[in-house]
Structure 1
Amino acid sequence: MNFFNVTLPLALVNVINQASRSLMALIGPLLALEFDLSAADLGLLGAILFVAYGLMQLPVGVALDLYGPRRVQCASAALACLGFAISAAAAGPFMLGFGRFITGMGIASGLIGLIKGHTLWFPRERVAALTGAGVFIGGIGGLCATVPMQAVLPSIGWRGAFWVLAMAAACVSLWIWLAVPPSPKRNAQKSIWSEIREFGPIFTAPVFIRMAPAIATLNALHFTYQGLWLGPWLRDVAGLEDGMRALTLLFYALGVMFGNLIAGNITSLLQARGKSPMIVPIVAMCAMLAMQVLILVVAPRDAWLVTLMWLAFSLSGSTSSAAYSSLAQAFPAQLAGRVSTAVNGSMLALVFVFQSIIGALLDLWPRTALGGWSATGYAWAMMATIIFQAATMLWMWRRRE
């Protein structure tokens, strides 16, 4: 097996995954004005995708372990295509929310399918690096949903953006079916309930109890801002116009790409030298916490300083490939899909909570003359996430062996 018939085609699900999440940060302000949405409404609309994403994690983990990445990822991309089409045709926020829910179901296996494919066909020491490379490719979707999409948005509108993603998802589904090999046959077949019950030892394992909350929070905060609230923050707090806002989102997406690539390769290098693969996620947690504090205290207004700070935030937050593969390797290989979906499901539940609570906090202050939200509300929201992340890191430190 090689990069071109495993990593590349499976990474394409992450391309549409990243694009679907990043798009809301760009079009969220447009949707709020067109459908007269409050901050809480917009937060809920953005979080619906992550609800579906989270609900699918445990079923996806079992499906990947039972049926392999080829069949699961092909079906997932086709389902995402349906979700994008429903969103494009939505007459109101309820139908748009339903489309986002279906999309969330379709993209739910993106990262986990990539990790599962690598654990099936590559040596352990290459899993983190290859997964980082796959997520790097997936970041192209996030890039496309920034400056390029901003450039064509006046011509195609937000509905056209969803139609473009629908066509891309259909092509991805076909490509995976043609390129990815069938999974190796399992030596023994268990009942579906036996497979599901194996989540129990995962959730109760000491390493999972210690590391999962901090890893989930690290990735949830990254998703919360990339998936919705960074775009409005750049408008309401930093005062950036549409063009510069799209450019900052592009740099954020670049941080996602290079963060995963760098973290994956450093993790594999550490493992090759007998070091713990958890070093990279722990350093990333400290860096993200520090960046939130800096952004809160400095409250930058210079466009390039704003961009630099959020680039650093995205670099530290984009270590999901290293964090998930590191945790998965603490368990038997046949459980890799379920381990990753267990922590991913917890993370996505946090995204729903973070996006919804930030919206609710913003609604405590009057809207601005331009239809945005108060900078004070954003400050209180970031203060809350700082406290929450610090608490998960303290938990991780106190439960060390």
Structure 2
Amino acid sequence: MRQFARITLPLAGLNFVNQASRTMIATLGPLLALEFALSASELGLLAAMFFAAYAAAQLPVGLAIDLWGSRRVQTVLGLVAALGFAICALATGPYGLAFGRVVTGVGISAGLIAMLKVNTQWYPRDRVAGMTGLGVLVGSLGSIAATVPVALLVPEIGWRGVFWVLALMSVGVAGWIWASVPERGPGAAPPPRRALGAEVAEFGRIFRHPTFRRFAPSVALLSAMNFTYQGLWAGPWLRDVAGLGDAPRALLLLCYAGGLMAGSVGTGQAASLLQQRGGHPMLVPWAAMAGIAAMQLLLIAQPVGNLVVLGAIWFLFALFSAAGPAGYAAIGQRFSAELAGRVATAINVTMLVLVFLLQNAIGWILDLWPRTGSGGWNAAGYGWALAMTLALQVAAALRMLRPEKV
């Protein structure tokens, strides 16, 4: 664990900031929509701008990590994230807030990739998923901090104050990464000096690889479901479908974050254990895909009135969606270690494009119905939105069942 504390934990600290930033919008989304008079599609676009910047940065960031290492890249990006939070805190309208979210999206864009790269260098292959899961668990604490704690902080310091807190945290984590994380793995030589064009061309080989084409869509969609709902639409669903006020809504978002924490460590450790015993590296992600499909069916049925049932559904939804990093590790094992950053970012950019499309598509679907008297959206729209994401998951699963063509 000393190695984990020195190498993985500081990088997980920026994931904490990442998770807090994403989940906070689900907590503050209804407040921001009322303050800036945003429609569902406008609120979806505001949240999606963060993920659009996140996605646009993926391929350059993955290449940078492979060439210059997680320590240098994450230190710089931590400071960029701090700048983005400061812009949000100073925003006077939705455009300023959107710009701040774009800068923040770039700043936290390499969180998971940097951890996967370092873990690939420092741990045996069959331990990478487990150690990455522990790192994601630490990051998931940011989701916890962005629910009830944020709801309690807003009356005291306002939503702008919350952004200032995140800015200070980003600066602190950047300094921690620079002071603690080594330049490269044990015995690893500096990356060979090749033309930049040759390094960029490796992305083409990754995207054309039969394993990537077969498994990446399903793995990316699994993580995208978490980003889409935890990042925005879970909060409005709890308000408009379940009819919950601010306090119980924050409590159930806390349940969601708890499921993400449990799933992060549980699915990662299970994947490593099963692989050590000869199981397929994708076994846990496959089970998680089936589980999250079942949760979507339950949400389409629109269960209301029982906080325990609702908490259990969203807890399991988050738990299953947390298996995404185990899928990243499984796909990455089919490539050489020097490509670890680029493989992870290739999956990530696929996932984030899906998040951008899904968050907007759900907003468009909800806007097909008139807004309710309380300013929310019609419950029927949420059912159709969930049916849309479920259909996409079924299509991705059918693609995964096709044999690889070398």
Please tell me whether the aligned partners of residues 35 and 92 of structure 1 are also in contact (alpha carbons under 8 angstroms). Answer: yes
Q: Please say which of residues 321-330 and 41-50 is displaced more in the overlay.
A: 321-330
Please tell me whether the aligned partners of residues 220 and 324 of structure 2 are also in contact (alpha carbons under 8 angstroms). Answer: no
How do 1:243-322 residues align onto structure 2 when only pairs under 5 Å count? 243-322=247-326
Instruction: Write the distance in 2 (CA, Å) between the matches of 1:222 and 1:241.
Output: 22
Q: Over aligned residues, Cα RMSD in angstroms?
A: 1.1
Instruction: Write the distance in 1 (CA, Å) between the matches of 2:279 and 2:59.
Output: 30
Per the alignment, residue 33 of structure 1 pairs with 34
Q: Please say which of residues 84-93 and 148-157 is displaced more in the overlay.
A: 148-157
Instruction: Write the distance in 2 (CA, Å) between the matches of 1:257 and 1:193.
Output: 39
Amino acid at match of 1:107: I
Instruction: Write the distance in 2 (CA, Å) between the matches of 1:267 and 1:32.
Output: 40
How do 1:164-183 residues align onto structure 2 when only pairs under 5 Å count? 164-183=165-184
Please tell me whether the aligned partners of residues 324 and 340 of structure 1 are also in contact (alpha carbons under 8 angstroms). Answer: yes
Please state how far the C-alpha of 1:399 moved relative to its aligned partner: 3.3
Please state how far the C-alpha of 1:321 moved relative to its aligned partner: 2.0
Please tell me whether the aligned partners of residues 240 and 303 of structure 1 are also in contact (alpha carbons under 8 angstroms). Answer: no
Q: Please say which of residues 160-169 and 295-304 is displaced more in the overlay.
A: 295-304
Please state how far the C-alpha of 1:320 moved relative to its aligned partner: 2.2
How do 1:334-345 residues align onto structure 2 when only pairs under 5 Å count? 334-345=338-349
Matching of residue 162 in structure 1 with residue 166 in structure 2: no
Please tell me whether the aligned partners of residues 24 and 228 of structure 1 are also in contact (alpha carbons under 8 angstroms). Answer: yes
Per the alignment, residue 23 of structure 1 pairs with 24
Instruction: Write the distance in 2 (CA, Å) between the matches of 1:50 and 1:301.
Output: 33
Please state how far the C-alpha of 1:350 moved relative to its aligned partner: 0.4
Matching of residue 381 in structure 1 with residue 382 in structure 2: no
Amino acid at match of 1:149: V
Matching of residue 237 in structure 1 with residue 238 in structure 2: no
Amino acid at match of 1:345: V
Per the alignment, residue 390 of structure 1 pairs with 394
Please tell me whether the aligned partners of residues 238 and 303 of structure 1 are also in contact (alpha carbons under 8 angstroms). Answer: no
Matching of residue 205 in structure 1 with residue 209 in structure 2: yes
Amino acid at match of 2:284: V
Per the alignment, residue 49 of structure 2 pairs with 48
Please state how far the C-alpha of 1:122 moved relative to its aligned partner: 1.6
Per the alignment, residue 138 of structure 1 pairs with 139
Matching of residue 224 in structure 1 with residue 228 in structure 2: yes
SS state of the match for residue 4, structure 1? helix
Please tell me whether the aligned partners of residues 302 and 383 of structure 2 are also in contact (alpha carbons under 8 angstroms). Answer: no
Please state how far the C-alpha of 1:300 moved relative to its aligned partner: 2.9
Instruction: Write the distance in 2 (CA, Å) between the matches of 1:304 and 1:103.
Output: 35
Matching of residue 331 in structure 1 with residue 331 in structure 2: no
Query: What is the CA deviation profile of residues 199-236 of structure 1, one whole-angstrom value per residue up to 9, with x for unaligned ones?
Result: 11110111100001111111111110000000010000
Amino acid at match of 1:120: Q
Matching of residue 126 in structure 1 with residue 127 in structure 2: yes
Please tell me whether the aligned partners of residues 285 and 327 of structure 2 are also in contact (alpha carbons under 8 angstroms). Answer: yes
Query: What is the CA deviation profile of residues 304-339 of structure 1, one whole-angstrom value per residue up to 9, with x for unaligned ones?
Result: 211110101000001122111111111111111111
Instruction: Write the distance in 2 (CA, Å) between the matches of 1:8 and 1:170.
Output: 16
Name stretches of at least 5 consecutive residues in structure 1 with no aligned partner. none
Matching of residue 349 in structure 1 with residue 350 in structure 2: no
Instruction: Write the distance in 1 (CA, Å) between the matches of 2:309 and 2:191.
Output: 56
Matching of residue 105 in structure 1 with residue 109 in structure 2: no
Amino acid at match of 2:75: C
Please state how far the C-alpha of 1:105 moved relative to its aligned partner: 0.2
Amino acid at match of 2:290: C
Instruction: Write the distance in 1 (CA, Å) between the matches of 2:401 and 2:194.
Output: 37
Please tell me whether the aligned partners of residues 67 and 191 of structure 2 are also in contact (alpha carbons under 8 angstroms). Answer: no
Instruction: Write the distance in 2 (CA, Å) between the matches of 1:75 and 1:282.
Output: 36
Q: Please say which of residues 318-327 and 39-48 is displaced more in the overlay.
A: 318-327
Per the alignment, residue 360 of structure 1 pairs with 364
Please state how far the C-alpha of 1:187 moved relative to its aligned partner: 5.3
Name stretches of at least 5 consecutive residues in structure 2 with no aligned partner. none
SS state of the match for residue 92, structure 2? coil
Matching of residue 91 in structure 1 with residue 92 in structure 2: yes
